[in-house]
Structure 1
């Protein structure tokens, strides 16, 4: 029996080579396809909606306080020895304390929105008070003494008046408190010497001093 010849051996080798090439090509295609599928996203990503900031609701502002209304106040000390008048304008106040004989003081300062006030004058004089409704309740410290007082809202001609002038070479400075009911308490200072002041005409403010007519005007800060 004859052995296969070289031609048969060569043909068998050629078929084996073709089979291997076909197998490699098929495997490479599958691998490439698999790699492509792995690299490809499974789903198209969707843009997430922008985050919306929700800030907490702001609390309403506190109610604003309004300045105390313009008005005049007049009254007496609790011991009935003196009178006190206060004129309030635009959050500022000027006050006059007077015993109608020799003791007096002009004071001024601010009035807070809650109605409290601290007014100061010469020689350490001080008025502390609180406006409550239609009256001011407080104290005046003067000359080492404290005077409690109540001053009610005044309606003209009640209120606080002042006149300054030079008469016959003398400097005059007068202060008057016209109380509700018409009674007056005042001091006229002549060159630093205080004395009881003559009455003014509440309707016109005129007063005669040493034969000369002066006009006392309502006082405002």
Structure 2
């Protein structure tokens, strides 16, 4: 009995193996191998991390600017005007002229004591004026009068000066007459009374009367003009 079956099967398997071998040679494919991570040339490819869209817990919300404090309303300065009056003891006269927040004042006893003072006037009407020799006038404007004190040559004088209506007010004249330096100051009160001192080369004496309408005055035979004083 002939055994052709096994022989045929063996032959068929051989042909199949030859066919598969020729197919691999034609396509050149190789079985895939898993790379070793410990090889020197191996690098791990990492996908870029997704950006963090969440706010950092340490970040704080923007701070709203604090409202600016409201500006204090501007106060009206003391009005421009002239004031004249007498000290409480009736020994002297005081006149004050106010212009644009500045003041000039004159204290005079009509004999030998006088002082010109100046300084600023605050919006509330208060003022501290200073003069030569350490003289000081402290006063406050309320309504139509100034109430205050004058400290001069060791004396302390309280005074009240009411708003002056021309020709009342403060006047001054300076000139050189017969080689003498003339400096005169006058306070004209609302009653028409005049209190003043005239200095010739620094020597004081009672001042002659001026014409309250024109300010004209004659000194040592020369006609001068006393003019209103403003700061």
- Interval containing the TM-score (normalised by the shorter chain): 0.7 to 0.9
Aligned residue in 2 for 1:98: 108
Deviation at 1:66?
Answer: 1.4
- Say how many residue pairs are matched: 171
Using the TM superposition, give the Cα deviation of residue 57 of structure 1 relative to its aligned residue in structure 2, in angstroms.
7.7
1:79-118 equivalent positions in 2, closer than 5 A:
79-118=89-128
* 1:116-172 superposed Cα distances (whole Å, 9 cap, x missing partner): 000000000000000001000000000001000000000100000000000000000
1:158 to 135, 155, 168: 168
2-structure distance, mates of 1:150, 1:191? 32
Q: Which residue of 1 aligns with 2:141?
A: 131
Matched, 1:69 2:69: no
SS at match of 1:72: strand
TM-score when scaled to structure 2? 0.70
Matches within 5 A, 1:196-211: 196-211=206-221
1:119 pairs with 2:129: yes
Unaligned runs of 5+ in 2: 1-62
Residues of 2 paired with 1:64 and 1:166: CA distance? 46
Choose between structure 1 and 2: higher helix proportion: 1
Picking from 168, 175, 180, the partner of 1:170 is: 180
Instruction: Give SS of 2:198's match.
Output: strand
- Gaps in structure 1 of 5+ consecutive residues: 1-52
| TM-score normalised by structure 1 residue count | 0.74
Question: Structure 2 CA distance, aligned partners of 1:58 and 1:88?
Answer: 35
Shift of 1:60: 5.2
Deviation of the 1:64 alpha carbon: 1.3
In the TM superposition, 1:7-26 aligns within 5 A as none
2:202 is matched with which residue: 180, 185, 192?
Answer: 192
State the shift of 1:74 in Å.
0.1
